[in-house]
Amino acid sequence: IEEAGFTPASRIAAIGVSKILQIGARAAAMKKDGLPVIILGAGEPDFDTPDTIKAAAKAAIDRGDTKYTALDGTPELKKAIAEKFRRENNVDYALDEITVATGAKQILFNAFMATVNPGDEVIIPTPYWTSYSDIVEICGGVPVLIPCDAEAGFRLKAEQLEKAITPKTRWVLLNSPSNPSGAAYSETDYRPLLDVLLNHPHVWLMVDDMYEHIVYDGFRFVTPVAIEPRLKSRTLTINGVSKAYAMTGWRIGYAGGPKALIKAMAVIQSQATSCPSSVSQAASVEALNGPQDFLKERQASFKHRRDLVVSALNAIPGLACRTPEGAFYTFSGCAGVIGKVTPKGKRIEADSDFTDYLLEDAHVAVVPGSAFGLSPYFRISYATSEAELTEALKRIADACAKLV
Ligand code: PLP
C-alpha cells in the first residue's frame, strides 16, 4: 500500500490476515518447494459437496438464475431457512427476521458493523475462532476476552460472564460446538449463562451454531433461543452451509434475529457485496430442504477420526487433549513441552515455538493456541484422511520424543 503511494489504514492493516490463513500459506509454500508437509490447519471438511446440491446449482444456471437477487436472500432460501429453524431448532423466525450473506463470516461482519460503536465491548470466551476479535476491532469495538481452559471444559461460566459485563457491554458471543476447541454447550451448560443475560437487558447475545450437525456420542445440540425464548428479541442466531454440507467455497451463511437488526445488517451488505451468489443460494435451498442422510455418515467418519487423534495425542508425553463433543478440531494442551529444547538447540518458550518446530522439523502444520487467544495449546483440524492423520501424529510423537 505504501509502495502504491497510500497511507495505510493502520488500525485495519495492523490486524492483518487471519492467522490460520497465514500458517496455511506458509505450509503450502513449503509443500510447493517439495517438502512433505501435512497440513492440519484448514477448517474445511474433506468431503465433496453432495451431488443433489451440485445438481440444484446447475439447474439454477440453466434456468437463468444468474442475476442479482433480493439484497439479503431470495424468498425461496429464506423460506427454507425458516423451515430449518422450525424443524431442527424448534425456533420460529419470520422471513423478515432472516438474512443471508456471503458466508457466516460476512453475517458476523454485518452484525458488528451495524451495531458496534467505538469503545463498545464484546465479550468473547477464549479460545475463540480468530475472526471474532479481529472483526470487532475492525469495527472499533473492544473484544473482552475471557479465558476458559480445558479444566473448565473450554466453556464460559456464569460467574465469569456476570463479572465481565459493564455498562459498555453490547454483545456476548458464544460458539457451540466451538472452533477451535470442539467443546459444546448442553442445555444445562447454557441455562445459567442465559439467566445472567436475563438480568442485563442492555446485553445482546450472538450465537454461532456453524457446527451444529457435527456432534458425537449422542450430544444433543440446542440453540439458546429454543431454551430461553425471552432472549429472542436480543439474540442473533448464526448458521451456514459451509461445514455441514461441505460447501465452504459456495459462501452462504445466514442468521435469524430481531427485525430491526436484520434490516440494519442488510444496509451494510447493500454497501459491501450486494446479494450473495444467486447460484449458491439456489444450491443452499436444496442443501436445507433436500436429503439429509449423508450428515449422519459424515458425522460417523469424523467421530472415528476424532477418536484416533485424541488417543494418539494423549499417548504423547507432554501433551494432554480433552475429548471434544463436536466440530472437527482437537485443542490439545502442550504445557509439558514448554521449556524443552529442540535438537537444533532452540528453547520452546510458547505454543507458537512448538508449532513452528512441528512445521519446520516434522513438516506438520497445526495452529498455536495463541492464534485463538489461549495458551499453551495447539489446534489440529482432523478433516483429512486417516492415513495422513496417522502419519502426522507419528511425526508429532517423534518430534516430541526428540525434545530435551
Ligand atoms: N464460525 C465459525 C466458528 C467458523 O469456524 C467459521 C469458519 O471457519 C465460520 C463461522 C465462517 O464460516 P463461513 O464459511 O460460512 O464464512
- Ligand 1 touching residue 105 (CB < 6 A): yes
Atom 12 of ligand 1, residue of closest alpha carbon: 104
Check whether 392 has a pLDDT greater than 70: yes
Residue 337 identity:
V
- Ligand 1 touching residue 242 (CB < 6 A): yes
Q: What is the mean pLDDT of residues 117-146?
A: 95
Check whether 34 has a pLDDT greater than 70: yes
Q: What is the atom index within ligand 1 of the atom nearest the CA of 175?
A: 3
Q: What is the mean pLDDT of residues 240-253?
A: 97
- Ligand 1 touching residue 179 (CB < 6 A): yes
- Ligand 1 touching residue 222 (CB < 6 A): no
Check whether 18 has a pLDDT greater than 80: no
Indicate the Cα dihedral angle 175, 176, 182, 183, nearest 10°. Answer: 110
Domain residue ranges in the chain: 10-48+294-401, 69-289
- Ligand 1 touching residue 24 (CB < 6 A): no
Angle at which helices 104-115 and 259-270 cross, to 10°? 100
DSSP 100: E
Q: What is the atom index within ligand 1 of the atom nearest the CA of 105?
A: 16
Spatial CA neighbour of 189 closest among 161, 230, 218:
161
**Least confident among 3-7, 42-46, 271-275, 303-307:** 3-7
DSSP 139: T
Check whether 85 has a pLDDT greater than 90: yes
**Least confident among 46-50, 306-310, 374-378, 393-397:** 46-50
From the CA of 132, how far away is ligand 1's center (Å)?
10
Q: How far is C-alpha 211 from the chain's CA centre?
A: 8
Q: What is the atom index within ligand 1 of the atom nearest the CA of 104?
A: 15
For residue 10, what pLDDT is reported? 59
From the CA of 354, how far away is ligand 1's center (Å)?
26
From the CA of 106, how far away is ligand 1's center (Å)?
9
Q: What is the mean pLDDT of residues 26-44?
A: 91
- Ligand 1 touching residue 241 (CB < 6 A): no
For residue 13, what pLDDT is reported? 65
For residue 146, what pLDDT is reported? 98
- Ligand 1 touching residue 269 (CB < 6 A): no
From the CA of 182, how far away is ligand 1's center (Å)?
13
Give 154's Cβ-side CA count (13 Å radius): 33
Q: Check: CB of residue 354 under 8 Å from CB of residue 337.
A: yes
User: Could you name the CATH architecture of 10-48+294-401?
Assistant: Alpha-Beta Complex (3.90)
- Ligand 1 touching residue 209 (CB < 6 A): no
Residue 141 CA to residue 119 CA, distance in Å, equals: 5
Q: Is the CA virtual torsion 295, 382, 178, 76 positive or negative?
A: negative
**Least confident among 238-247, 256-265, 293-302:** 293-302
From the CA of 151, how far away is ligand 1's center (Å)?
25
Q: Which of 21, 44, 124, 129 to mutate to test the pocket of ligand 1 (most atoms within 8 A of CB)?
A: 129
For residue 186, what pLDDT is reported? 98
- Ligand 1 touching residue 374 (CB < 6 A): no
**Least confident among 39-53, 311-325, 379-393:** 39-53
Q: Check: CB of residue 335 under 8 Å from CB of residue 351.
A: no
Grid cell digits, residue 260: 430491526
Q: Which of 135, 179, 185, 207 to mutate to test the pocket of ligand 1 (most atoms within 8 A of CB)?
A: 179
Q: What is the atom index within ligand 1 of the atom nearest the CA of 327?
A: 5
**Least confident among 5-14, 86-95, 389-398:** 5-14
Atom 3 of ligand 1, residue of closest alpha carbon: 179
Q: Check: CB of residue 274 under 8 Å from CB of residue 68.
A: yes
Residue 62 CA to residue 11 CA, distance in Å, equals: 45
- Ligand 1 touching residue 103 (CB < 6 A): yes
Residues 274-285, buried b or exposed e (16+ Cβ, 10 A)? ebbbbbbbbbbb
What tens digit of pLDDT does each residue of 139-148 get? 999 999 999 9
Does the ipTM exceed 0.85?
Answer: yes
Average pLDDT along the chain: 95
Comparison of pLDDT for 1 and 257, the residue scoring more: 257
Q: Which of 23, 105, 135 to mutate to test the pocket of ligand 1 (most atoms within 8 A of CB)?
A: 105
For residue 14, what pLDDT is reported? 66
Residue 95 CA to residue 99 CA, distance in Å, equals: 8
For residue 310, what pLDDT is reported? 98
**Residue for grid cell 449458491:** 280
Alpha helices in 150-292 (DSSP H): 158-164, 187-198, 224-227, 259-270, 278-289
From the CA of 224, how far away is ligand 1's center (Å)?
19
What tens digit of pLDDT does each residue of 279-301 get? 999 999 999 999 999 899 999 99
For residue 2, what pLDDT is reported? 67
Spatial CA neighbour of 112 closest among 337, 313, 268:
268
Q: Which of 178, 242, 328 to mutate to test the pocket of ligand 1 (most atoms within 8 A of CB)?
A: 242
CATH fold for the domain made of 69-289: Aspartate Aminotransferase; domain 2 (3.40.640)
Residue 1 — pLDDT band, cuts 50, 70, 90? low
Q: What is the mean pLDDT of residues 13-39?
A: 84
